[in-house]
Amino acid sequence: MVKRIEKKPQDKLTATGNSTLNPFTEPIAFVEPGEEIEVSTWDAYGGIISPTRTFQEAVDQGLAGALNPVTGPIYIRGAEPGDTLVVEILDIEVPEWGGSSIIPGFGALEGWLNLMKPRTKISYIKEDKITYETDHGKTIELETEPFIGTIGVSPAYEAIQTLAPGPHGGNMDCPDIRPGNTLYLPVTQKGALFGLGDVHAIQGDGEICGTAVEIGAVVKIRFNVLKKTIAWPRVESDDMIMTVCSARPLEDAARLAYRELINWMVSDYGWDRDDAYMFLSLAVKARIAQIVDPLYTVVAKVSKKYL
């Protein structure tokens, strides 16, 4: 039977405990490497929207509480500072609806599209299909591509808001952190102090209006610990290795991701550094994960068949 870690009830969520990744909050669960666990997560709104209540209405009703809350901290036994936490994403159970919103003051085109009004749009989800009803009367069906938007470990000594990504993971909004893939995170605290939330049923590159189809979900994962040190989050799929880096401006996020990928090719696959640089100039793929959070995120990838 799979061990299940429940999210805290909404009225028990706290700003530091759930809206930061931090070394101060008591773990809510202790997990063994290799154990399969299920974690229930809040949506990015902290559960305050519904098919009958928009985000703006919820804010006006005073319901807005923890921002982008994570379920955690989860203590992984055996994880020590300097280690790498391995997170296998096994499955994501998607609910029957999710909501995307325009939130004035937030979003990639804020200031570029004047006069946007607050708005929440509910999309229903059934048998891996999302139904999007357009304003001009069309019904569009999208395949779900669920992934974990916010996932990370405690920073070394800071408490970093869960709206921000960084070397510790966090709000990377990277669609490659999805079932079937494995995420690697640099551990800086005993037990790693892991948290996750902000699952998306689908998201475009850049998450441009600031939200995707935001869902509360149940995520099945398995942890392991490697006795090696990495600098930034990494992802591995069946056929690609990927680095996930965050910075501003966006080109610096890209440069970090490219450099980390070169470093990985050099350390683990025997490449010469300058040769890896030239080769990636021919063969790397890059995805803009998001340009709406405090730092922007880019994923750089190269096919394993070349390594």
User: What does each C-alpha distance from 232 to 16, 36, 253 come to in angstroms?
Assistant: 23, 24, 11
Applying CB under 8 A, which part among 32-40, 56-64, 105-113, 178-186 lies near a second copy? 105-113
Phi-psi region of 192 (alpha: psi -120 to 50; beta: other; left: phi over 0): left
Contacts of a second copy in 150-209 (CB under 8 A): 156-161, 202-209
* Chain centre to alpha carbon of residue 204: 14
Per CB under 8 A, does 38 bind a second copy? Answer: no
- Would you say 221 or 276 has its CB closer to a second copy? 276
Closest distance of CB 271 from a second copy, Å: 6
- Contact window for a second copy (CB under 8 A) among 5-13, 34-42, 74-82, 266-274: 266-274
- Of 113, 115, 167, nearest in space to 295 by CA: 167
Bridge partners of residue 302, in order along the sequence? 241
Helix axes 273-283, 250-269, angle to 10 degrees: 120
- For a second copy, the closer of residues 4 and 273 by Cβ is 273
Closest separation in Å from C-beta 213 to a second copy: 6
Site for a second copy in 272-291 (CB under 8 A): 272-275, 277-288, 291
Cα separation, 201 vs 67, whole angstroms: 19
Site for a second copy in 70-89 (CB under 8 A): none
Interaction of residue 19 with a second copy, rule CB under 8 A: yes
CB 256 within 8 A of CB 242: no
Tokens of residue 153, six digits: 């470990």
Told to check if 268 binds a second copy by CB under 8 A, we report no
Q: Which is nearer to a second copy, 37 or 216 (CB)?
A: 216
Give the nearest distance from C-beta 289 to a second copy in angstroms: 10
